[in-house]
């Protein structure tokens, strides 16, 4: 009698509202490594999945945006801790996805973990950098402070399956937004595995929702969705980006256009955080503490 056993293949699922549904369509597509070897079947998300993800993101927005910046930073740091504990898994997935050696994949994974920590440190500092008191002519205090835009659709980079993914997701949620993320169409497995870490961290369900499938097919309804407030086109090619930007104009979404592909390995700045912040300005008369202020 043979002692050989069959491997237990991993079943990859979407991550929506803190749960792991299969695509409502029941469809999947084959994901292969850089040499064409089959790795897994990934869910092929539908328009209905995209709409469900927006509902989950909107439901989570109030609680997440209302949490203290310090608390959001703690949660982002906790995500980095958990990724560190699963480093070997992500090194293998990134190596397979991008055709890298284990050592080069390790560099990418370490950089992605460090990026979570970097953005965790910014959560309670960004308001001081982009907000503050404004000089005005008259007996008034005039104060500006940043607030999150709302629900952000994020097209993850196609080639940088993990570092690029983290580079576009972390700044969105660090500032109090919630996200609907379309994983790299070619290499979705690191993104789908990230859902497992998010689900077991302290991140509330619905703050990040991860879909896999045909980028253009999922992005089109998100760009036109009236309850999506902004869209990051990092993973769109030139033709798709133009199409989605036109669709997004229907309800005046904020649009972040695609950036150079080498951006992911560079030291990040604050631009991706400020891209999805609104500025609230409050006026208050001086010398009359009992008077109520007004804002616009």
Task: Say which CATH number the domain at 169 has.
Answer: 3.40.605.10
pLDDT at 1: 53
In a domain? residue 126? yes
Average pLDDT for the chain: 90
Domain containing residue 70? 28-295
> Which pTM was predicted?
0.90
The single-letter DSSP state of residue 213 is S
> For residue 243, what are its two tokens?
């199409």
In a domain? residue 182? yes
In a domain? residue 5? no
In a domain? residue 7? no
In a domain? residue 21? no
The 10s digit of each residue's pLDDT in 241-272 is 999 999 999 888 999 998 765 678 888 889 99
> For residue 119, what are its two tokens?
């953005």
> For residue 85, what are its two tokens?
């504990």
Taking 50 as the threshold, does the pLDDT of residue 291 lie above it?
no
In a domain? residue 90? yes
The 10s digit of each residue's pLDDT in 95-132 is 999 999 999 999 999 999 999 999 999 999 998 888 66
In a domain? residue 194? yes
pLDDT at 128: 83
Helix (H, G, I), strand (E, B) or coil at 193: helix
In a domain? residue 73? yes
Let me know: does 259 contact 234? Beta carbons within 8 Å: yes
Give me the number of domains the chain comprises.
1
């Amino acid at each position: 009698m043979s002692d050989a056993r069959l491997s237990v293949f991993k079943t990859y699922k979407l991550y929506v509202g803190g749960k792991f549904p299969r695509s409502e369509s029941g469809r999947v597509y084959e994901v292969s490594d850089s040499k064409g070897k089959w790795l897994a079947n990934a869910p092929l998300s539908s328009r209905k999945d995209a709409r469900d993800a927006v509902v989950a993101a909107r439901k989570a927005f109030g609680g997440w945006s209302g949490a203290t910046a310090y608390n959001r930073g703690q949660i982002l740091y906790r995500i980095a801790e958990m990724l560190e504990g699963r480093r070997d898994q992500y090194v293998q997935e990134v190596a397979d996805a991008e055709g890298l050696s284990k050592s080069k994949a390790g560099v990418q994974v370490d950089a992605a973990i460090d990026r979570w920590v970097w953005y965790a440190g910014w959560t309670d500092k960004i308001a001081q950098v982009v907000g503050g008191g404004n000089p005005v002519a008259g007996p008034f205090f005039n104060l500006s402070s940043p607030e999150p835009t709302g629900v952000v659709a994020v097209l993850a980079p196609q080639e940088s399956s993990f570092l690029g993914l983290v580079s576009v997701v972390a700044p969105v949620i660090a500032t109090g937004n919630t996200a609907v993320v379309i994983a790299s169409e070619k290499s979705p497995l690191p993104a789908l595995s990230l859902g497992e870490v998010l689900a077991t961290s302290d991140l509330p369900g619905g703050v990040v929702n991860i879909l896999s499938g045909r980028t253009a097919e999922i992005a089109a309804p998100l760009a036109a969705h009236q309850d999506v407030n902004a869209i990051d086109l990092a993973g769109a090619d030139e033709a798709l980006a133009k199409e989605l930007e036109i669709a997004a104009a229907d309800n005046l979404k904020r649009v972040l256009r695609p950036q150079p592909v080498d951006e992911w390995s560079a030291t990040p700045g604050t631009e991706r955080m400020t891209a999805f912040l609104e500025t609230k300005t409050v006026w208050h008369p001086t010398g009359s503490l009992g008077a109520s202020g007004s804002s616009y």
